[in-house]
Amino acid sequence: MVVGDVTTAVDVLILGAGPAGYAAAIRAAQLGRKVTLVEPGPVGGTCLNRGCIPLKALLEASERYARTGIEELAQFGISAETVSFDWSKMQAWKQGVIERLSNGVRRLLTGNQVELVQGIGWFLNEKEVRVEGEHGSLRFAFEHCVIATGAGAPLLPTDVLTPEQALKLDTLPEQVTIAGNDYIALELATALARLGVTVELAVPGERLLPEVEPAAVRLLQTGLRKLKIRVKTGVVVEQLKARPLVVCKEVRPATAGLRLDVAGVQVDEQGGIKVDSMMRTSNPAVYAVGDCLGSHALAAVALKQGKVAAEVLSGMRVQFAPMVVPQVVQGWPELAAAGLTAEAATRAGYQVKTGRFPLAANGRALTLGADLGAVFVVADAEHETVLGGTVVGPRAADLLASLTLAIEMGATLTDLTEILYAHPALSEAVLEGAENALARAIHVLNKP
Ligand SMILES: Cc1cc2nc3c(=O)[nH]c(=O)nc-3n(C[C@H](O)[C@H](O)[C@H](O)COP(=O)(O)OP(=O)(O)OC[C@H]3O[C@@H](n4cnc5c(N)ncnc54)[C@H](O)[C@@H]3O)c2cc1C
């Protein structure tokens, strides 16, 4: 590596090694490009180090603790004297998961001959980037550049916690107020309540998760009540006096320090980088992916956009154009949704046909001791094309995949019912949800 102001010519330069950046790096390398990946922190970005993975690890640990509670076990005929947990050991386990995944990404980068440069980068002009880091100050001239710098937490008062900070508290508080109306607020509330923290969920807006099928939200609310989480709607977050307070708010694109103006890369009013469906910016040599666009703030989207950018800059004609973006709340019960709700489909002008199948009628759910949940299917009444689906219950996010595939492929309700589903399995609830829309589910009374 050249130190000083000598310019090093590189093929594909990627700024940021979160899911968007590392996916772009690996995919570009697979396509024969020589990739230099710049990152000041650990690989994996927000998702792996501070967001999705730590939160899911904590959800899992807290679920195991709650599920081995004495009353929970008693229903299976099992008795236990005491069940307890050690918060610092739980944190250490969570950190172990993060490190395993981060090392795995590092190995994949090395295996794909991606050069990782530790440092922070910004543009010098339309074709060059400066990187400052452990190798000093470096100057790169790129053939193509992908910006994948993610997003940062919004500005909050100093005594207010972000969800990332709440995930690594040294000690568990006795009580906490969590403000927000998204999956992060609900998941954090779930994990902490299961560990015995008294949680108040302060929801801005009149309805919890207004975009989600109302009957599915009601199931989630039943779960929140069981966990003794107090939900208060219509809250003005800025007026909340309660402490400790965690505020889950929209993140802001991390683009301020990139000097995008000198690179000829246009941004919107919030600083989100403007791209077309092929992830191209206003500079023909520069692409942008992930949270720095300021649109979805989901790792699932970031990973896909990273791959699309790598393919486009390698000469393939592909687009980022999903019909639906799955939404998941890994609460208790878990909720996952894709596509239109019945209400949204009607608003969009469809005559709708809906199906519903409760987990209480699914054999596998009962053997799991998890009957709080249901599958909701929405279809266009005329062609019976699947328009949307919502799953509430164990592993809802995994079960949603077949409904997402059905929507993307323009499958009909009959398509969903023609394949064989393993038995006994939770996936049979998806089958019977579709069958119920066709008024022919076996394990539930169908509406006439
Ligand atoms: C608590 C929490 C839970 C979440 N849970 C989920 C979930 O369950 N599912 C889901 O899909 N999403 C989830 N997310 C969102 C997800 O983490 C982000 O959408 C995802 O990480 C975005 O990926 P990215 O690569 O665009 O950005 P990031 O992951 O933020 O990565 C950006 C990287 O760029 C680096 N960088 C910044 N500036 C520069 C620079 N100038 N030069 C070089 N590098 C730079 C940063 O250090 C960082 O590593 C969660 C987020 C949070 C906070």
Query: CATH classification of 7-50+93-153+252-313, choosing from 2.40.160.60, 2.60.40.740, 3.40.50.720, 3.50.50.60?
Result: 3.50.50.60
Cα 49 to ligand 1 centre (Å): 9
Cα atoms in the 13 Å half-sphere on the side-chain side of 392: 25
| Phi/psi at 408 (5° precision) | -60, -35
22 CA closest ligand 1 atom index:
25
β-pair partners for 200: 177, 230
The alpha carbon of 257 is separated from its chain's Cα centroid by a whole number of angstroms, namely 26
Helices (H), 172-256: 183-194, 214-226
Give the closest residue (by CA) to ligand 1 atom 30. Answer: 150
C-beta of residue 329 within 8 angstroms of C-beta of residue 217: no
β-pair partners for 410: none
Cα 299 to ligand 1 centre (Å): 7
Count Cβ neighbours within 10 Å for each residue of 116-152 and write b for 16 or more, e otherwise.
Answer: bbebbbbbbeebbbbbeeeeeebebebebbbbbbbbe
Domains 7-50+93-153+252-313 and 163-247 share a fold: yes
β-pair partners for 382: none
For residue 342, give the H/E element and its range. Answer: helix 342-347
Count Cβ neighbours within 10 Å for each residue of 350-371 and write b for 16 or more, e otherwise.
Answer: bebbbbbbbbebbebbeeeebe
Sheet holding 352-358, edge to edge: 327-329, 335-339, 386-392, 374-380, 352-358
Q: Is 422 exposed, middle or buried (0-12, 13-18, 19+ CB in 10 A)?
A: exposed
Model-level pTM?
0.96
Candidate of 149, 162, 324 to mutate for ligand 1, largest count of ligand atoms within 8 Å of Cβ: 149
The domain defined by 327-437 carries CATH number 3.30.390.30: yes
Domain ranges of the chain: 7-50+93-153+252-313, 163-247, 327-437
Give the closest residue (by CA) to ligand 1 atom 4. Answer: 52
Cα 425 to ligand 1 centre (Å): 34
Give the closest residue (by CA) to ligand 1 atom 44. Answer: 16
Cα 218 to ligand 1 centre (Å): 31
Please, what is the angle between helix 52-67 and helix 87-111, to 10°?
140
**In a structure prediction context, what are the per-residue pLDDT tens digits for the chain, which is 448 residues long?**
445 579 999 999 999 999 999 999 999 999 999 999 999 999 999 999 999 999 999 999 999 999 888 778 888 999 888 889 999 999 999 999 999 999 999 999 999 999 999 999 999 999 999 999 988 999 999 999 999 999 998 889 999 999 999 999 999 999 999 999 999 999 999 999 999 999 999 999 999 999 999 999 999 999 999 999 999 999 999 999 999 999 999 999 999 999 999 999 999 999 999 999 999 999 999 999 999 999 989 999 999 999 999 999 999 999 999 999 999 999 999 999 999 999 999 999 999 999 999 999 999 999 999 999 999 999 999 999 999 999 999 999 999 999 999 999 999 999 999 999 999 999 999 999 999 999 999 999 998 7
Q: How far apart are CA 210 and CA 83, in angstroms?
A: 37
46 CA closest ligand 1 atom index:
29
Q: Any residues with Cβ below 6 Å from ligand 1, and which? A: 15-21, 38-41, 45-47, 51-52, 55, 120-122, 148-150, 163-164, 184, 254, 257-258, 290-291, 297-300, 302
105: its two tokens: 């990404």
Phi-psi region of 41 (alpha: psi -120 to 50; beta: other; left: phi over 0): beta
Q: How far apart are CA 266 and CA 282, in angstroms?
A: 6
423 is catalytic: yes
C-beta of residue 300 within 8 angstroms of C-beta of residue 326: yes
The domain defined by 163-247 carries CATH number 3.50.50.60: yes
Return all residues near 72 (Cβ < 8 A) that are at least 6 apart. 66, 369
